[in-house]
Chains A and B, each alone.
Chain A
Amino acid sequence: MNKKGQLITFDFSTSIILLIMFTIIIVSVIIFSQKLDETKYYEFELEYVFDNFENNLKYADPINNIAFISNYRIDEDKLKNFANQVTDIDSYVLGTISNSTDSSHGIGLDENAYDTCLYFRDENGFIEIEGKKALGELKNGDTCHMYFDSGDNPCENYKQATSFIKPVLLDKHNVAENKIIQMNLVVCKI
C-alpha cells in the first residue's frame, strides 16, 4: 500500500515536470520567434541615407572637390576624388560632416553603430572606382572591396544588413560612355 502510494506520487511528479518542461519550451519558442522578428525592424531614418549622403557631401570642404552626387547625377571625376580621399564613409552616409564654416544636420543615427559600403553596378557587374569594387571600411579594419572581391557578404558578422538601391546617371563627360546605372548602399548594423 505504501509502495503503491510512492509510485503514484512519482508518476504524478513526473507528469508535473513534463508539463513544466513543455510550458518552458513553448514559452521559449515564442520568445525566440519574437527576437527573430526584431531583426526585421528597420530604423525609420535609414530611408534617408541617400539624401543624407548627398547633403553631407555638400558640406565637405570644397577644396577636396568630392561632392560627386547631385540630382541623380554622379560626376565620375569627383567620385574618384572621393574614393582617393575618404576610406571610411560611415560619417558621410549616416552621420554629420562639418567644414570650417558650417555643418550638416544628419539623420539622427549614430554612425558608430553602423558600417556602410558604397558600390555601383551595371549590366556587366561592378563598376570599379579607382580599382575598387566598393568603397567603405568595416569595424574589423577590412575594406568593403575585399569582401565584394571575394564574393562575400560584408555584413555577415553584423546584427542586421540592409541594402538600398538608387538609379543614377554616371556622367563621364562623354556621351559615348555616359549611362544610367545602379547605385548601392549596404548598411550593416553593429
Chain B
Amino acid sequence: MKKIRKKGYVYVLDVIIAALLLLVGLALLFYGYPQKDYTPYFTDRLSEDIVGVLSETQITDLCDNPGQNIGCSCPNYPELRDIVCTNLLHDTDASLLSLFSETIERGYAGEDKMKAIIKEIFVDKGVIDEKRFGFSIIYTSPSITNPSELYNTENP
C-alpha cells in the first residue's frame, strides 16, 4: 500500500513539472519582447558630406582678410588662421577644399598642421562625434605618388 502511495507522489510531481513547463511555454508564446530603445545613425553619406561642406564653404566665410599677415583673423578657427593669414596664400577667393589643396601642393604646412585643422573643424566643434563615427581624409593628386592621409580617427 505504501509503495503505491510513493509511486503516486512521483507521478503527481511529474504532472506538476510538466504543467509548469507548459505554462512557461505559453507565457513565452504570448510575451512581447521589449524593443531596445536605441536610435541608429545613418552615416552612409557622411564622407561625401564632409568633402561637400569643405568645397562649399569659402575661406571668407570663416576668416576676415585672408592672405594678409596683418588684419587677418579666423575668430572661431585659430588653427585655420595659421594657413589663411599669410601672404604666401595665392588664392584667397576659394573654398576650404581648395585652400587645403594649395597648402599641400605649395608646401605651406605639414601633415600635422592639416590634421590639426581638420580636427578643429570637425571634431573639436562637435560636428562629428569620433566616439561614434570614425573617419579619415586622404589626399591624392598627380604630383603625389602615394596618397597622403590628412586625417584618420584611428591614428590621432
Judging by beta carbons under 8 Å apart, are B22 and A17 in contact?
A: yes
Q: How many A-B residue pairs have CB under 8 A?
A: 120
Q: How far is the CB of A16 from chain B (nearest CB, A)?
A: 11
Contacts of B9 in A (CB 8 A): none
Residues of A within 8 A of B53 (CB): 72, 167-169, 180
Given A155-B39, A165-B46, A180-B122, residue A25 in contact with residue B127 (CB < 8 A): no
Main secondary structure of the interface of A (DSSP, over half): mixed
**B127–A167 touching, CB < 8 Å:** yes
Q: Which residues of B contact A171 (CB under 8 A)?
A: 61
A22 within 8 A of B: yes
Complex Cα gap A139–B18 (Å): 47
User: Is B44 in contact with A72, judged by CB distance below 8 angstroms?
Assistant: no
> Which chain A residues lie closer than 8 Å to B39 at the CB level?
153, 155, 161-163, 186
Report A-chain residues with C-beta under 8 Å of the C-beta of B142.
none
Q: Is B124's beta carbon under 8 Å from chain A?
A: yes
- Of A28-36, A76-84, A92-100, the stretch lying at the interface with chain B is A28-36
In Å, the complex CA distance between A124 and B61 comes to 21
Contacts of A129 in B (CB 8 A): none
Interface of chain B residues 109 through 146 with chain A (CB within 8 A): 121-122, 124-128
A58 vs B97: C-alpha distance when bound (angstroms): 26
Task: Indicate if the CB atoms of A123 and B126 lie closer than 8 Å.
Answer: yes
Q: Which of the candidate stretches B28-36, B85-93, B98-106 sits at the interface with the other chain?
A: B28-36
Contacts of B122 in A (CB 8 A): 167, 180
List residues 13-38 of chain B with CB under 8 A from any CB of chain A: 14-15, 18, 21-22, 25, 28-29, 33, 35, 37-38
Cβ-closest chain A residue relative to B75: A176
Assess whether A105 is interfacial by the CB under 8 Å rule.
no
User: Which residue among B14, B15, B45 has the maximum number of chain A CB atoms within 10 Å of its CB?
Assistant: B45
Q: Which residues of B contact A150 (CB under 8 A)?
A: none
B127 touches A181 (CB 8 A): yes
CB<8 Å pairs between A and B, sample of 11: A14-B14, A18-B18, A18-B21, A29-B28, A36-B33, A72-B49, A121-B126, A153-B39, A162-B41, A175-B64, A180-B122
Binding site for B on A (CB under 8 A): 7, 10-11, 14, 17-18, 21-22, 24-25, 28-29, 32, 35-36, 39-40, 42, 46-47, 50, 71-73, 121-124, 153, 155-156, 161-169, 171, 175-182, 186
